[in-house]
Every structure is written in C-alpha cells, then in structure tokens.
Amino acid sequence: MKPTDLRGILQYIPLFRNRPFVISLDGSVLDHKNFGNVLLDIAVLRSLNIKVILVHGAAAQISQLSKKSGVSATDLWGSGKTDEATLEMAIQAANLNTHRILAGLTACGVHAAQSNAIRANPAGLIKSLDLLNTGKIHRIESVCLNSMLDQGITPVMPPLGFNAEGNTLRVNSDNVAIRVAEKLNAEKIVFMTASNGLYRRQEFIRELSVEELNELLDSEVELEPKGILSKARCAAEACRSGIPRVHIINGCIDEALLTEIYSNEGIGTLIYSDEYQQIRKAELKDTNSILRLIRNSVENEELISRERLDIEKQIDCFHLIEIDGNPVGCVALIIYEEEQIGEVACLYVDAPHANQGIGQKLLGFINRTSKERGLKRLMALSTQAFSYFENKGGFRQGEQEELPKDKREQYVRSGRNSRIMIKDL
C-alpha cells in the first residue's frame, strides 16, 4: 500500500468508527491459503475501532467430511434437509471452523469468542419436504452480541442455532449474516466468497443499486456465477431491510477486504440502497473539489477552462455526485431566464467511476430539475462528448440560432467550434 493511500483511508475512519460490520466467510475461504491474510485484515478493522461480527459457513468442510467418511450429506448449505448424520457433520465442521478462526485471531492479537446468540426453530415442511434438523432463525440475541462488542470482543458465529430446549439446528450462514446485521443495525455486510463478485454477460459488475439488482434477478439475464446468486438474493434482502451496503468480494485475494472498504474503486461487487450515491448542491467549500475533478478534462480540452472565481460566482448552479461522501462527478445547470433555456455545463465523471451510469444519473437529474423549473429546452456545447449527449442523453445536434442570445455571442467569440447539442423538454 502506498503511503498516499493512507490519506484516502483517513476519510473513512470517523465514518466507520464504532459501527458494526458483519463479515461472512464462506467455508471455502477458510481452506484457502489467503485465510491468514483475511484475519490480518480483520485485525486492521478492529484496530480502527470497527465493531466486527464474524459469521462463517461450513459447506466446503461438510462436503470433505462426507467424502472422507462415505456418509452422504443431505444438504451442504443449511437450507435443504438436514438429517441426523448431516447435522453431526455440520456440528463437527462448524466447530472446527470456529476454532480455526479463534486460533487465527489470537495470533493477530484480536479478542474473540463464540456465542449462542442464534435462536432457531425447526424450518418444518417446505413443499411437503420435512427439513428435519434445518433451522429457521427466529431471534438474534443482541444483548449477548452487544455486550461482547462493547468489551472489544469479536463475536464468531458458526451456522448453528439453538431452540429453547437447547437442541442444535443447522442454519444458513448468509441468513445469519442478514439477521445479525438487521438486529445490530450494521453499516454493511461483506460476503467473502471464492468468486470475484457478480458478472452480467461476462462483464464484471462493480456496483449496482438494490433496484437494479432486483430487476436483474427478476429478468434472469445472465447473472454469473450461478454459485453466488443466492448471495445476490441475500444482498437484495439485506438492502431492503435497511442495510445500506452489501459487498460480495473474493476472500482468496490478498487485501481484498481492505481494498473494498477503504478505496472508492473497491474490488468486488457492491450492492447499495439509495443513499449510497447522492447528488447534492455544491457549496463554496466545494470549489477545490470541482477544480480538482475537472483539471484533467480541461487539459484535454474536453471542458472549457474555469477560474476559481468563475466557479465561485456560479457555485449555486453546480451539483456534485458523491460516493461515500467523496465527490466523483459534477454538473452545472446555468439558466437563461429570458429564453427559459438551461445549459448543461461542466459535466464530468472521475475516470475510476466511468461507465457506471453516473454521467447519465447526472443528466437525468438535470432533466428532472429543468422540467420542474418549467424550462423549455436544454443545451450543451461539447467538443468530445457530443455523441454521448446524443446517444445517452437524448440530445440532438442544433444550430446557433437555438442558443440563448448571450450564449450565442459568447459561442462565436470563443472560436471553439463546439457542437451545439439541444434537447427540447
């Protein structure tokens, strides 16, 4: 990690201090050689006062036990039928995994303990199949978890629940993660799997809103890999129940956890509920951010050069789009009152966030605001993004006569020969 990265991290430290993060480790991650590094990253989170709750699975280990003993498992995931033999293997595998995590965290200097905070009842009959020893979580004992967290102890939660009589039931670890996150009002859930995240028709999805995810899940377009679709469904469920962010990342990659949490670009797939990306009005104190954002584009002559004073004078026209409170794009709407025309100016999206629909979000926002203001037309002058305005924003090429009078004179004087793009509202 470069020392300069530390500056980027600083912004997140107050944001996440004392906030609960639920980290859910697939059994396969525990078997990977990177497992020790995952625990080191968790130790870093703890040192930054993040309240970590570690949930883990056991499917990979149940499968291994089953192969070794020749006893077939009726279900690996805690969502199908768990007969007595499978429950035995699940208890053995889950406890072994908890033990390995506790041992590893000890080596990293992290205080941790197992809890009995998962209360479950038999899942019963689903589509007339008796699920036997599979449990449905009915309560998470937050008193138990909170008192551990308040003492600086990291709870480690195997995929096993107990009913009122103390009988053990096999539960699904992803469901444990969701229920715990809901109960503790967690900041985020991080699912650590053996896959990079979600792909749509072989194209990696870096981030998407829960609405977009629901559409993809409903329409069954080629979301890949199939093995983590259940995680995607869990992510959607978690966001719906109020968890702002759910990450699916590859636990087999070194530093994946820290990269995902402490960099804007991340490494896996982020599913967010609405408040994650926010468009807001710029204020005077944002002038530096705007200058910094557009610097490269001005040098490349994509955007017209603006002095600090110009931006300060027009600051009320500017809007910023933020990710985690960091500006990653901007746009200005300059209104020509006489003609009731709005100029879309200074549209910019920071390169690491390009091609994620942020530019279209900003244009959509300008469109809505302009309609609300009763404007008749939008215009933009562009040297290198005219086809973007045309193809993605619904603009058409226009003529000088369609510009507001003041702008027309300025256009001729500038000699930039930008294309005139028009959208009638």
Ligand X SMILES: CC(C)(COP(=O)(O)OP(=O)(O)OC[C@H]1O[C@@H](n2cnc3c(N)ncnc32)[C@H](O)[C@@H]1OP(=O)(O)O)[C@@H](O)C(=O)NCCC(=O)NCCS
Please report, as ranges, the residues that interact with ligand X according to CB under 6 A: 297, 302-303, 347-349, 354-360, 380, 382, 384-385, 387-388, 392
What single-letter amino acid sits at 306? R
Contact 290, 305 (CB under 8 A): no
Which candidate, 19, 21, 24, places its Cα nearest to that of 175? 24
Q: What is the DSSP letter of 195?
A: S
Spatial CB neighbours of 69, under 8 Å, sequence gap ≥ 6: 89
Residue closer to ligand X (CB basis): 121 or 360: 360
Q: What's the min distance (Å) between Cβ of 356 and ligand X? A: 5
Q: What's the min distance (Å) between Cβ of 312 and ligand X? A: 20
Residue 387: phi and psi, rounded to 5, are -70, -25
DSSP of 273-317: -GGGEEEEE--GGGHHHHHHHHHHHHHTTSS----HHHHHHTGGG
Q: What's the min distance (Å) between Cβ of 11 and ligand X? A: 22
Spatial CB neighbours of 136, under 8 Å, sequence gap ≥ 6: 120, 121, 122, 123, 124, 171
Residue closer to ligand X (CB basis): 144 or 334: 334
Residue closer to ligand X (CB basis): 119 or 206: 206
Contact 375, 405 (CB under 8 A): no
Q: What's the min distance (Å) between Cβ of 349 and ligand X? A: 4
Helix (H) or strand (E) holding 52: strand 51-56
Pairing of strands 341-349, 377-382: parallel
Q: What's the min distance (Å) between Cβ of 246 and ligand X? A: 22
Residue closer to ligand X (CB basis): 262 or 348: 348
Phi-psi region of 125 (alpha: psi -120 to 50; beta: other; left: phi over 0): beta
Residue closer to ligand X (CB basis): 181 or 349: 349
Q: What's the min distance (Å) between Cβ of 387 and ligand X? A: 4
Q: What's the min distance (Å) between Cβ of 342 and ligand X? A: 13
**SS3 call for 328:** strand
Residue nearest to ligand X (CB): 359
Please give the Cα distance from 174 to 308 (Å, whole number): 50
Residue closer to ligand X (CB basis): 59 or 346: 346
* Distance between start and end Cα atoms, the chain: 49
Q: What's the min distance (Å) between Cβ of 42 and ligand X? A: 34
Residue closer to ligand X (CB basis): 169 or 344: 344
Residue closer to ligand X (CB basis): 253 or 294: 294
Q: What's the min distance (Å) between Cβ of 303 and ligand X? A: 5
Q: Which residues of 137-146 are buried (b: 16+ CB within 10 A; e: fewer)?
A: beebeeeebb
Residue closer to ligand X (CB basis): 58 or 362: 362
